[in-house]
Amino acid sequence: KDIELIGDLADYSKIPVVQVIKDLNMAIDLKLIPQGHFGTDNLIFIVSNEMYEKYKKQQASYDRYYKKKVGERTEEIQALLDQGQEYIEKIHQSNDIIKDKEISDKLDKMEKIVSMIFYELDLSPQYADKLGMFMNYYLPTTKKLLDSYIEIDEKEVKGKSLEKSKKDIAEAFDKLIVSFDSILDKFYQAKELDIASDISTMEILMKQENLMK
């Protein structure tokens, strides 16, 4: 992402906010993040000059949005986001261990979709109730399958049964990706309905006020 909350970076990295800010300043000075910029009161960090120019043009709007975003987060939503980050890290770390390119491609896709689901949850926490099975079953099952695949893959002698298990897990990854994609689409559908409802209400009010035919 081009913009990230400093507080989120601190939570994800398990490092105090003060240290995160210090480290980011050092990264800018050493040209490790050559286009890095801080927002007002060090609330956000921006990683591209292009995004920073957009931010400066509408600074008040951006600041208001991110302050509201921080203020609206409940402990329950934050707990879901933290848990989600743990699963994302698990998929990423497993991908680093697994050498099979086909499986690695599947896990890359899975990580992107899961990351987007939690990104959408952060933007629209009112849809958290759509993630019951996702949080309580699908993600824990994914973690279990990843551990099983790695355990089998590390055995020097596998035999037909274990090879079949590896194949079954690989096919299960495909099914999980399709399911996760559908869950993400449910977020988009819910937003679409909300937008359509807002527009419809606006048009009704305009007609009542004789502002449109």
Task: Tell me the per-residue pLDDT of 56-65, one tens digit each, with 9 for 90 and over.
Answer: 998 988 888 8
Q: Judge contact between 135 and 202, C-beta under 8 A.
A: no
Chain position carrying tokens 């050092």: 26
With H, G, I as helix, E, B as strand and everything else as coil, classify residue 45. Answer: strand
Distance, CA of 74 to CA of 56 (rounded, Å): 29
The whole-number pLDDT of residue 14 equals 83
Over range 83-91, report the average pLDDT.
93
pTM (two decimals): 0.64
Say whether pLDDT at 129 is over 90: no
Q: What's the whole-number average pLDDT of the chain?
A: 88
> Which of residues 66 and 32 earns the better pLDDT score?
32
Angle at 72 between CA 113 and CA 1, to 5 degrees: 35
Residues 77-91 have a mean pLDDT of: 90
